[in-house]
Chain A
Amino acid sequence: MLNTLDTWALTLAVFIPLAGVVVLGFVDRTWEKGLKGITLLVSLLTLADGIYLLARFDYGASDALQFEVNRHWIDAINSHYHVGIDGISLPMLVLSMFITVLCVVYSWDHFPEPYNPKSFLMLILVLEVGMNGTFVAEDLILFFVFFELVLLPMYFMIGVWGGPNRQYASIKFFLYTLFGSALMILGFLAIYFKGGQTFDIPELVAKGGIASHVTELWIFGGLFMGFAIKVPMFPFHTWLPDAHTEAPTVGSVILAAILLKLGTYGFIRIAIPILPDAAKSWAPWIGGLAVIGIIYGALGCLAQRDLKRLIAFSSVAHMGFVMLGISTLTSYGINAAVFGMVAHGLITGMLFFLAGSIGERFGTREINRLGGLLVQAPKLGWILGFCAMASLGLPGLAGFWGEFPAILSAYQPAAGLNEALFRGYMVVASIGTVLAAGYLLWMYQRTAFGLPRDEFAEAHIHDIHTPEWIAWTPLLVAIVALGVYPHLLFHVTTDAVDGVTAALKAVGG
């Protein structure tokens, strides 16, 4: 029985939400309670599947693919329905399931204009299909399908439920990412033809390089564009602030918490292990862009007047730390990156929830018009402060374990990389932590400290409501738990990461 379930567990992770979408399609759009109930049930069932995976996962062999299924799919191009998870994909998969549930809960009484809960909830579930699918895929075509699948629901979410400038933002988001994907799929095709006509990721990784160095460099470039735009890395980030500013709260949360990670995950899962040799040549450039992103994102934050836009820019900076970790090509760095991905998902997801709730209460997210949040809604204010602290990398909270080990790893990058250069990166990245403190605390001072402005002095501002508490408490608990006891996550990722770095060592250097 359990064995059967093991075989089906990953497929269920992808297809329960899909089934949910189909069911929702048949429900009358006016029966709101039913729609919400079904969506919640579906997302909870998916999470239950995730918990089953957590329980059955063999942590002693987290570098091996588990719950693996490999079936014929498109024989014409030798593409398989190959799914499986290891210690890197498991946390991301569970995070995706977890965030989806919280988003459904949060949506309970927060449907943005033009309302239409049915479509909105369906989109959330479609998103989940794509996200979960990406994290379990072990075949390049399968990966690509899921990777692209998330674009459409997010496009509609921004374009329909978004803010005033939603048209521009949604198209920019869609086209920019699609542009990257086009180059990425070419990279995949090149891998297919050069790598012995297979799309199978483990098989390709085992080859330890598929083509001449120059060819690999070009292929890596294609993949780089696809993933770097998604992350997003400087200078390909400009779609992100617009998308976040215009997206509805739940859209922003999913975008920040999961969608951005598809890019970094792609680097760790595909680009680096399949093309280790090229990765080494690209690493200094990636690291350079990463630290530019850290400083640049922070400066962008300091210039912002809109709360959500500020958090969006902070994502550029935080993902810079993740990419710095990845670019060192060391075990420390990639572990830090995976931790950073999860931590950023929790913390920035939480910050977007807060920005959404604040914007809804005051009717504005303009920082200069806010003030005295701690007076009017003390709990909301305290939680904003907590998340600001988590986001600036306070040890004891999750953010630190993404940042500090990334900085640490840059001191000694993988053999063959320029040590002096990466040590320079280390110092620049550390300076980024100061700027992070600057923009977050300055934002906090202007929104939470002081007294409310005249225009809102008489306004009745609700403190946190029940659905918000239910959606947020798990995130807050996870931020503290991972921060206090990072072993929880590192012990899952470390062996799997060693698998990735082993691929790098195999090519020597």
Chain B
Amino acid sequence: MFFLRNAWIIPAIPVASFWVILLFGKRLPKKGSEVGVAALAIAFALSCLTFGAWIARDAKPAAEVVAATAPATAAGPGHVEGGEGAGGAHELPSETHHAEELRPAVDRNLFTWFEMGGTKVEFGTHIDGLAVTLLFVVTLISLLVHIFSTAYMKGDRRYTHFFASLSLFTSGMLILVTARTTLQMILGWEIMGLCSFMLIGHWWEEKPNSDAALKAFFTTRTGDVGLLVGVSILFFGAGRTFDAATINAAALSGRMPHWVLLMGATALFVAVIGKSAQFPLHTWLPDAMAGPTPVSALIHAATMVVAGVYLVARMYGVFWKAFSITAPGHAGFNPVAIVGGLTILIAAALAFVQNDIKKVLAYSTVSQLGYMVMGLGVGAWMGAVFHIFTHAFFKASLFLGAGSVSHGGSHHSFDMKKDMGGLKKHMPITFWTFAVSSVALAGIPILAGFWSKDEILLGAGKNGYTVFLVVGLMGAMMTAAYMTRCVYLTFFGEARGNAAHHHPHESPPAITGPLVVLAFLSVVAGLLNAPGITLFGKWNLNEVLVTAGVPEHTFNYGYAAVSTLIAATGIVIGGLWYFRNLGPHGITQRVKPLHAGYVFLDNKYYLDVLYTDGVVGSIKGPIARGAYWVNQNVLDGVVNGVGIAARRVAQFVYDVIDQQVVDGAVNGAGFTAESGGSLLRVFQTGRVQNYAAIMFGVAALSALGLAVLVTK
């Protein structure tokens, strides 16, 4: 219980280490890296203890939780339409999660963050299965990335800053996952945005890197419009509270009008699209490869992009109700599922045409995030969360493996076609860990990716989202094929370029160590939720799932067989094409329509052109310049015009009325042009008193009008 109540310490540790490294890092013997590694080691140990405490927590019947909100959700999970014709159209009312296995979340308020307008906003932690799972994953991956970086970043020009940023980055994600309120989530979310900016732009001397950093920050920030708006809508919708659990409960209870939920969920989902790199805002993620490789591993596996998926998982009551995800008679699609599904295919297709190994992995991440989002969209909450968990291990392993290849094999190049090939014999550990992780990603049993992907597909099929089942299966085949291509180009065939000329060698233990750990987890992590074990599902059960009645499906051998077969087909096709050199090679050069398709892919669907030149370019260029032109010529023109006109009127008054009429009456017409001119110069020298007098005159006239109106 102690660890559950004091989980706030875990995010606090990397925050502290950030400050220590920033302020004193350069003076330490290892330039601050030791502080980072130690901090994460402690944080990881605490996360394990917290996880242990959570497992040890008694599962209490949450009858009262259910009772409180049951009437509104009585229709709940119930009847689900099956796919058309797929062996009996109707499933039985599907099983829901067992309330008696629910471990109640541990909430704690630490202090009052602020109080205003009669609303008290607390800063606190909300610890449940989802939180402890992510605490474990994030601290573990981050620790391994820290260790890896001590060797990989050795001698870097900003070694100390790099570690400081890594620590802060990790703390951002930890703040997000332990957050009790949506406001704290914004805090963690934006800290990660900041750190991704610093880390992607780590080598800011070169413009492409700083461009990538800006693009990442700017794109995710565009999505954040949705976050600010969505949090505001839900704040008022749930009765002036930022508390996530209360908002979920309010959503599920039916107290919130559906349109409010729909607006809130849609707005939040815009933020998710930005942060989790979903189509059409995914374009920043591949560019983010400009950062050092360990950063990519951290961003892709455990932080940043997972944040978006986490937000949906955390606020699932809102999404579930707003999009009627498993409500009877649902349409079979919703924005969440559609965006996720599209992302799977669109990103997987792009992975085929990349020559940069990190970009293959980046598009693979985008595609896998699509699975998670789609999983949440089709009601497979547990599958999606499980996929966060397993994906973290194999994707971190793959990225760090790519880093290892560039470190020892290809002499800092990431170009598979130019500088790699045949590295298998030189880098056996890197090869084996990379290969195992690739198979895990491809979804071959009994490796990790298989189990989690299978749960998502199962959910799509059983909850009546047949189209998305097909999409998921297609994606699985593509995944298997492009990973085969990637492994082949990197490790097999003839050594090319740097790999041929620079004496490839295995990387040092600080690099291979993390690889081995991650590869091991890529093999076994999926077993946690294998049939007969299903521990992951029990640990991650939460109030929302029970109250909402999110359906749970037991392992189905039919689905598993089909998905395995399809993944295997993908590997075989990839293998035949690359290893055996079979198939119509060069067809994209010969056949015009296919060539056009290739060019279209090669240009990333022209989205970058649209955004960079179309949107950003026009705002930065013509629109901003136009607005400024209006400012200088229209708005300021009026101001200057008034000034000039006032001066002219005054001149007239002085010259004609005062000097000629009034003064003329006194002195006759004896006025010399000379003295008039000198007085005129007084006006034009810009003496403030004169202007003030004139302006006061103008004001007085307006005032007269005002006075007349007021006294009426």
Residues of A within 8 A of B (CB): 155, 159, 167-168, 170-172, 174-176, 178-179, 182-183, 186-187, 190, 193-194, 211, 215, 218-219, 221-222, 235, 237-239, 296, 299-304, 330-332, 335, 372, 374-375, 389, 394-396, 400-401, 404-405, 407-408, 410-412, 426-427, 430-431, 433-435, 437-438, 441-442, 445, 448-451, 485-487, 490-491, 493-494, 497-498
Contact = CB atoms under 8 A, between A and B. Distances in A.
Given A175-B643, A175-B692, A178-B696, A407 B224 contact: no
Given A215-B710, A239-B639, A299-B624, A171 B222 contact: no
The DSSP consensus for interface residues of chain B is helix
A412 B218 CA distance: 28
A451 B203 CA distance: 11
Interface in B125-178: none
Interface in B469-516: none
Interface in B218-274: 218, 221-222, 224-225, 228-229, 231-233, 235-236
Given A179-B695, A182-B696, A395-B187, A194 B117 contact: no
A438 B224 CA distance: 13
Contacts of A300: 624, 627-628, 631
A168 B688 CA distance: 10
Interface stretch (B1-9, B38-46, B699-707): B699-707
A235 B635 contact: yes
Given A215-B710, A218-B706, A449 B205 contact: yes
Contact of B228 (A401, A404, A449): A404
The 6 closest A-B pairs by CB, nearest first: A182-B699, A331-B117, A302-B624, A303-B628, A299-B627, A449-B204
Contacts, number: 191
B390 to A, nearest CB: 31
Contacts of B115: 487, 490-491, 494
Contacts of A330: 117
Given A303-B625, A493-B116, A178 B692 contact: yes
A171 B628 CA distance: 22
Given A296-B631, A300-B624, A427-B225, 13 more contacts: A170-B688, A178-B695, A182-B702, A238-B636, A303-B624, A395-B191, A427-B229, A430-B225, A441-B217, A442-B620, A445-B211, A450-B210, A490-B115
A433 B193 CA distance: 14
Contact of A219 (B204, B225, B710): B710
Contacts of A218: 706, 709-710
Nearest to B709: A218
B635 to A, nearest CB: 5
Contacts of A168: 686
A430 B228 contact: yes
A486 B221 CA distance: 23
Interface in B678-705: 686, 688, 691-692, 695-696, 698-700, 702-703
Given A300-B627, A494-B117, A374 B204 contact: yes
Q: Which range holds the interface residue count of chain B?
A: 35 or more
Nearest to A219: B710
Interface of B: 112-119, 186-187, 190-191, 193-194, 197, 201, 204-207, 210-211, 214, 217-218, 221-222, 224-225, 228-229, 231-233, 235-236, 616, 619-620, 623-625, 627-628, 631, 635-636, 639, 643, 686, 688, 691-692, 695-696, 698-700, 702-703, 706-707, 709-712
Given A167-B686, A395-B190, A486-B113, A445 B639 contact: no
Nearest to A298: B624
A401 B222 CA distance: 19
Contact of A411 (B232, B624, B643): B232
Contacts of A497: 116-117
Contact of B214 (A396, A445, A450): A445
Contacts of A171: 686, 688, 691
A486 B114 contact: yes
B206 to A, nearest CB: 8
Contacts of A159: 688
A426 B218 CA distance: 20
Contacts of B218: 434, 437-438, 441
Contacts of B201: 449
A216 to B, nearest CB: 9
A438 B619 contact: yes
A411 B233 contact: yes
A412 B236 contact: yes
A63 to B, nearest CB: 13
Contact of B698 (A179, A219, A237, A331): A179
Nearest to B646: A175
Contacts of B628: 299-300, 303-304
Given A172-B639, A299-B619, A407 B688 contact: no
Contacts of B709: 215, 218
A471 B232 CA distance: 37
Contact of B703 (A186, A211, A486): A186
Nearest to A494: B116
Contacts of B616: 438
B113 A487 contact: yes
In this complex, the member of B201, B217, B233, B703 whose beta carbon has the largest number of chain A beta carbons within 10 angstroms is: B703
B620 A498 contact: no
Given A411-B236, A494-B115, A451 B688 contact: no
Contacts of B193: 394
